[in-house]
Amino acid sequence: MVRGMSLRKTAAAPEIALSTSFLWRHKILTALQFVNLPALEGIVEMDETYILESDKGKRRIKGRKARKRGGKAELRGISKHQVSVLVAIDRSGNVVAKKTGKGRITYKQVQEAVSNHLGEVTCVCTDSATGFKKFSQARGVDHEVLNMNQGIRVKKGIYHVQHVNAYHSRLKLWLPRFKGVATKYLDNYMFWFRFLDLNRKLALQQMKIAMVHESFKMPAEVTSWHFRPCLW
């Protein structure tokens, strides 16, 4: 899991069944959601990225043809076939990354995704999406808008969204190895990548130990039966 290997390769090393590999993976990922999750403080950058909706694992898909190995969206641009993932990051490197819904992100989705993870925020830096403007107004914090299309990347020397955009780039380089992630499990993969990204400076052996330790720090009341309907 530290190396981001497929389920089959992960199952082969300890000689366990593919279904067991799947179950262990998601039980660990469910626990990792609690790792290093302090409140975001000070200047907070927010931006959404879009990932193709996936019904991977379903035998019957309604409304469209099944895609193979991830596939491509049928509609151009942002549509109901795209799932938005909101990433919020402060200048200390604390990160919240969550699936929010289909299509363009809304004020309500921003609020539901990050409201419980904010501390003393002084400013929110975003693009020009209206959901962020409404959110900042509701929170009563300053809002700096960076319009990339107009070449506005930095304001007053300190307001930008470079950290969150860099996080998006690293995420998009990591995800394709899974050939499409089922949308219902997308948050688990966000927890997984967040752990790897926060610990990316550790040596491989140190990261392995950290994943084991962190997985057992918080109780996660999830059993194998929570995921079994996806296997049988």
Taking the C-alpha atoms of residue 204 and residue 210, their distance in angstroms, rounded to an integer, is: 10
Pairwise pLDDT comparison (14 vs 73), residue with the higher score: 14
Q: Give me the pLDDT at residue 232, please.
A: 44
Tell me: pLDDT of 70 over 50. Answer: yes
Contact 129, 109 (CB under 8 A): no
Question: Is residue 106 domain-shared with residue 149, that is, in the same domain?
Answer: yes
Question: Is residue 142 domain-shared with residue 175, that is, in the same domain?
Answer: yes
Question: Is residue 108 domain-shared with residue 11, that is, in the same domain?
Answer: no
Structural domain boundaries, residue 214:
1-34+188-232
Question: Is residue 125 domain-shared with residue 144, that is, in the same domain?
Answer: yes
- Is the residue at 100 inside a domain? yes
Q: Give me the pLDDT at residue 11, please.
A: 92
Q: What share of the chain has pLDDT > 70, as a percent? A: 84
Q: Give me the pLDDT at residue 57, please.
A: 56
Question: Is residue 122 domain-shared with residue 203, that is, in the same domain?
Answer: no
- Is the residue at 61 inside a domain? no
Contact 43, 205 (CB under 8 A): no
3-state secondary structure 157-214: CCEECHHHHHHHHHHHHHHHHHCCCCHHHHHHHHHHHHHHHHCCCCCHHHHHHHHHHH
Question: Is residue 3 domain-shared with residue 98, that is, in the same domain?
Answer: no
From 98, 99, 121, select the one nearest 45 (Cα to Cα): 121
Question: Is residue 129 domain-shared with residue 102, that is, in the same domain?
Answer: yes
- Is the residue at 47 inside a domain? yes
Chain segment 133-174, per-residue pLDDT in tens = 999 999 999 999 998 777 778 998 899 999 999 999 999 999
Question: Is residue 7 domain-shared with residue 21, that is, in the same domain?
Answer: yes
- The overall average pLDDT reported for the chain is 85
**CATH number where 131 lies:** 3.30.420
Tell me: pLDDT of 2 over 70. Answer: yes
pTM across the whole model: 0.84
- Is the residue at 89 inside a domain? yes
- Is the residue at 116 inside a domain? yes
- Is the residue at 231 inside a domain? yes
Question: Is residue 169 domain-shared with residue 115, that is, in the same domain?
Answer: yes
Chain segment 16-34, per-residue pLDDT in tens = 999 888 888 888 888 888 7
Question: Is residue 158 domain-shared with residue 106, that is, in the same domain?
Answer: yes
Question: Is residue 98 domain-shared with residue 206, that is, in the same domain?
Answer: no
